[in-house]
Amino acid sequence: MKSLFSKAARRIFFIVFVILVIFVSFSIYFKPADDLTAIFVDAAQGDSAVVKSRESSVLIDSGTRKNARNIKVALARLGVKTIDAAILSHPDYDHISGMARIIQEYDVKRVVMPEINKKYLSDSTALDELRYAVEYKNIPVKKVKAGDKLSLKDIKCEVLSPDKEYGDSNEDSAVVKLSCKGKSLLFTGDISSVVEKDMISAKRDLRADILKVSHHGSAGATSEEFLKAVKPSFSVVSVSKYNSYNLPSLEAMTRLYSQGGEIFRTDEMGSITFHIRNGEISVESEKS
């Protein structure tokens, strides 16, 4: 009798154990999907971010060739094989030179970029490589300006600048706002306070929950007026450790701290991931 009870007890214990293992495994590996996930890639002294919603995938800038691997890691982490829009803020080496490799290895549906005047470029090598890659794979290129909108399934994408030619590749950066499920991200390329002021004067809707800080935290950008207009809860500075430019600048960081939101830096934290789910934003970093 005792033996039968022990067998039954062992059987019940085994069944309960199996159920618990299945439940824990399901909780870990089958978490409900985010409404939107954004990974600000550690691109050293460059810029790149991968944004994935339930139905769309967007790549904003691509850092340098050296950092293409980190972008591929971010894409793989989010299960991205098709990029609905590869947005290039401007043609500086540290923003676009990794894109040709990404185009070669992924299904990129379209490339989006501002109108570019080559006479303002000190080096057009990365831009030429991009053009060859795009032509080889016959990928459509959309040139954008302020007021344009991109058609994405569940992400609203608005271009807020430029609305004129500034005569400088940084100032001519495409400023893009992505919105999904009531939350928004603002990508500013390498603009300065001159463009920030113009967008404020033009009454652009700059309000965003997450701000990609312009020009790696340069002193000439991220003005107090701009931060008041954006009111970011989170700001990300993409910058390399021990860079020769002494970025981010003390001035820009002081303004960011005074504004009151949380600040994240890729030189200190590595790649930074924002999870947006049910109206809430949570953050994790590679080096946390």
How would you list the strands of the sheet with 156-161, edge to edge?
Answer: 149-150, 156-161, 175-180, 183-187, 210-212, 234-237, 262-265
A 10 A CB-CB count for 180 gives 22
Q: What is the pLDDT of residues 150-188, one digit of tens each?
A: 989 999 999 999 999 999 999 999 999 999 999 999 999
In this structure, of 130-139, 192-201, 241-250, the range with the lowest mean pLDDT score is 241-250
Using the predicted structure, report yes or no on whether residue 2 has a pLDDT greater than 70.
no
In this structure, of 20-24, 177-181, 200-204, the range with the lowest mean pLDDT score is 20-24
Confidence of residue 10 (pLDDT cuts 50, 70, 90): low
Average pLDDT, the chain: 90
pLDDT at residue 41 in the model: 97
| pTM beyond cutoff 0.95 | no
> What is the greatest pairwise CA distance in the chain?
93
The mean pLDDT of 15-28, rounded to a whole number, is 57
Q: How far is CA 35 from CA 18, 80, 281, in A?
A: 31, 15, 10
Better pLDDT: 88 or 12: 88
pLDDT at residue 45 in the model: 80
Cα separation, 104 vs 97, whole angstroms: 13
The mean pLDDT of 44-69, rounded to a whole number, is 92
Cα separation, 92 vs 181, whole angstroms: 32
If one looks up domain 32-285 in CATH, what number appears?
3.60.15.10
Angle (nearest 5°) at CA 23 between 20 and 29? 135
- Residues pairing with 51 in the sheet: 38, 58
Using the predicted structure, report yes or no on whether residue 3 has a pLDDT greater than 70.
no
DSSP-derived pairing of the beta strands 141-144 and 156-161: unpaired
pLDDT at residue 71 in the model: 95
Confidence of residue 241 (pLDDT cuts 50, 70, 90): confident
Q: What token pair was written down for 87?
A: 């947005």
